[in-house]
Structure 1
Amino acid sequence: MIRTMSLLRALIGTSRLLRHTPRLAAGHPPDDDVLLDAPDGRLGPALVAAALADPEPAAKLLATTRDAEEWEDRDRYVSRLSAFAYRRDGWLEHWLAAAPHDPDALLVKAQLAVRRAWDSPARAERLRDLGPLIEAAAEAAPRDPVPWRLALDHARGAHAGHTAFETLWEQAVRRAPRHYGSHVAALKYLSAQWYGSHRECFDFAEDAAEDALPGSLVQALPVRAAFAQLIAGSDAGHGVAGDRIDAACDRALALSAEYPAGDPWPAEVRNLLVHVLVERGRWHDALAEFGRIGAQATSFPWTLVADDPLRGFLEARTCAVREVARRTPLRAGAAAGPGSAPRSGTFPGARPDAFPESFPRTFPGWEGPAAGRPGRGGSGGHYA
């Protein structure tokens, strides 16, 4: 009897997969249409020009963000431009040669130097040597919080103590109290992987999210704290309860719903959120979030959970499609597509180890998310 029931359940599951998987998969862009870290309309031309060794569009873009005090965009563009210069820096060298005191060129130069130092086996020593470079970028643009976000990333890697870190934090939030990038940097510092704990990290993230403006990415800080705990593994201990992680997901889902589907601005937050939802076994919510992501896959967090980040994204999406199909009754019609399930989408007993074996579970060394005891608000590379 037990064997008969097991065979029957397997048959029903297979029938549901065959019936619903094609329809559910059709609601998402084909694999070949998904792009990793696709630039927005402002950044794209600057990257194309940089590939031709022309720094002028990048210089104009960053000057515009500085003059307009578009700190969130500025932080994101500086990080992307420095990532491009990591492998092709001829355009940056031309820029610095023509304008050695340009505050925007100095900022990209400092961000690039910090990124390279993070990749060195002698990370702490190399980072300590970069203090004057970051100070020069900060002095060149006194109102800009981005050099101070960079200083926070630098301080963490250089093993700065809490007092020194909080001094830098005060400088960052004085310029932009709700700057997302600075909050991410602080969250990383407070994570259990660095100088805090899971609870301290969550407390900071939740306090910042409560104080965030409507639509601010700072509201997603708790889900970054959840990711930090999940990726640390079950041996980390002293973590927060699952219901607190689910509450972080619910807050991030509400934030994501405020933006149009396929919007590149919240793409990284959505990618992070969908990974945590998959970890929690919240398949309906995950599938709906993949619908909002569309073709906007991002390196973070997939570089930290898969050898190939784009493949990791696509496999997670396929997994969500199959799990929702497997749970959808055979007679359910088209209305049972992505987003039609109850809000939480959580099944009884869902837990981080509820993954199907087909989903990658390898977690390389994590460099941590960010949102610390100090503030709210930017971006930043996953190395920091």
Structure 2
Amino acid sequence: MRFEYQEAKDLIRSVDQQTNVLQLLENAANMDSAAFDTHCLRLVHSLAEYVLACPLRKDVYHGPTGALRFGLFSGLFAFRVADQKIFTTGVGTEIRRQLDPQYRFAAFAACLGAIPALIHSNLEVRDATTDRVWHGFRHNAPLAQWLKESGAKSPYEIAWRKAPATTSPATVAVLATDVFGQGFWNTFDPGVTRAMYDALMPGDMRPGETPLTTTVREAQRLAREYELRAATRPYVGTEPPAGVSAESLAQAIADTAPTKANSDEAPPLADTGANSGGDPDPSPEPEKELSLYETLPAVLQQFFTAIRADDEYERLMQNIKATEAGIVVPIAALGRYGLSPTSVVEQLSTVGLVAAKEGRRIVLKHEAKALLERDQK
């Protein structure tokens, strides 16, 4: 595959004209315009400088601008998935208010920062003029800068590797720095930065992983699925699928509703052999009756745990009233614990705890009272 040199800003404009992705990103980021330009757009332009029009993988996003589109789309999905996660527990409300926006942004940034390692693992890129081979461990690592070293904006040629090159977490982190730039994370909490670097290479779900890692994996999966669904004919990858558009991307984001796949549940246990034809257990243990708390998805368990740990718990409970209809809760109060109020209402509705919605309040069923009391689960 041969590509003529195009400026990064022109490639971004081309993708945006087709998908309106920058406006969707700004809406999802929930930042003011200045913060969006300083943080999100800065990384978008940095990623475009790094990858130019490179594809990403043989099986998906393997047309022109594939790597850039995967970074943008997975980052967009990351903001949506992050709205359904609780990143901080066991800390005060004020600290949570500072950290949660950082974690949301870190999920977006990790999706973009993961791209350089994927590119170098899957592709070999050559300067079509000098036949030099591009690699990431150099001073002018971004492809745009590297191609300009010869004094001209050279065309470049791409070949797929026969098998993806082995990549370690350390390599992924080093290459991601060329997208972030030196000092980019200086104003972020060190714990957020560590979690972001750990999330760059999510791999398969593993016990004890952070909510940020789970968010990045889910966002990447959704971005892959979107590209494949958008193909209205056999996916040949010579160009973006015909179904990739502003309308289809906006609809895909809107359809990303809370599901079990978005929770932090552990993977299924391995087969123990209980149904493999052996003798049954002569004295099976009676099943323990689960409390309401134990039946909730992990994200709601974390939500109610955060409420009970709130240093303003007493004042919060003064605004929550028990009535004949149920437990009346101001919707605005639900946004103090790492999830947006809308996401909390969706999650509570999904598990059947919402009795009614009354303007700016929701009415929870009476059994939810136990979830709010500090001395119970």
TM over 0.5: no
> Which interval holds the TM-score relative to the shorter structure?
under 0.3
More strand by share: 2
More helix by share: 1
Structure of higher RCO (CA pairs closer than 8 Å, 6+ residues apart): 1
**TM-score, normalization by structure 1:** 0.26
